[in-house]
Amino acid sequence: MRTLAATIHSHFYRRNPVNLRSRNFSSFYKGVDERSIEEEAERKVGWLLKLIFAGTATAVAYQLFPYMGENLMQQSVSLLHVKDPLFKRMGASRLARFAIDDKRRMKIVEMGGAQELVNMLGSAKDDRTRKEALKALVAISKSDEAVGALNEAGAIPVIRSTPDSVEYTEIENYKLNLLTRFRDLRHDIPS
């Protein structure tokens, strides 16, 4: 009986790692917890860096935007004086983007941009330069006063003499748009 009791006692009270399985799972879950905590920390640091970048970009933009108005328009008109067609195209493209309302269109005309665009169109040797000049002239011609200034600058004969392009169909569309605009303005003026 003693041996039976000793066997049962040793069988039930063995110090085998009974919770070995739970220990492995707890260490597994502990690793997952550490990993998720690490991922969450990385995510928070990432957002912090993004916020710092956005704040810096906002501060820089806030400092630069006051200088981008009239000064940048004047620089764009100045680019039309350069002999390189690339710089002329860049200036014309900028002026086309600036000509969003009548006030800005007239400011471009006052700065001499309309006359320079007409000169650029007359002296352009490639289709891309002609296209950008015509595009800028179309943008400026949405104002009646600007169309009058373009007419005084001699834009009509220069536009008519601009050759059509096989590569850029926009050139013909811009020419037609401008000539229609000049014709409409002439009909609106009482004789």
Q: What would the pLDDT profile of 132-143 be if each residue is shown by its tens digit?
A: 999 999 999 988
Considering the domain architecture, whether residues 182 and 143 belong to the same structural domain is answered as yes
d(CA 173, CA 165): 11
Considering the domain architecture, whether residues 55 and 37 belong to the same structural domain is answered as yes
Considering the domain architecture, whether residues 103 and 166 belong to the same structural domain is answered as yes
pTM for the model: 0.62
Q: What would the pLDDT profile of 15-54 be if each residue is shown by its tens digit?
A: 555 444 444 445 555 556 788 888 888 888 889 899 999 9
- Check the CA dihedral 14-20-23-27 and report its sign: positive
Considering the domain architecture, whether residues 105 and 177 belong to the same structural domain is answered as yes
Q: What would the pLDDT profile of 141-164 be if each residue is shown by its tens digit?
A: 988 888 888 888 888 899 998 888
Q: State the pLDDT confidence band at 191, using cuts at 50, 70 and 90.
A: very low
Considering the domain architecture, whether residues 131 and 60 belong to the same structural domain is answered as no
Residues of the domain holding 54: 19-67
* Phi (first) and psi of residue 20, to 5 degrees: -60, -40
What's 161's domain CATH number? 1.25.10.10
Considering the domain architecture, whether residues 101 and 33 belong to the same structural domain is answered as no
Whether the CB-CB separation of 92 and 116 falls below 8 Å is answered with no
- Of the three residues 33, 67, 101, the one that is the final residue of a domain is 67
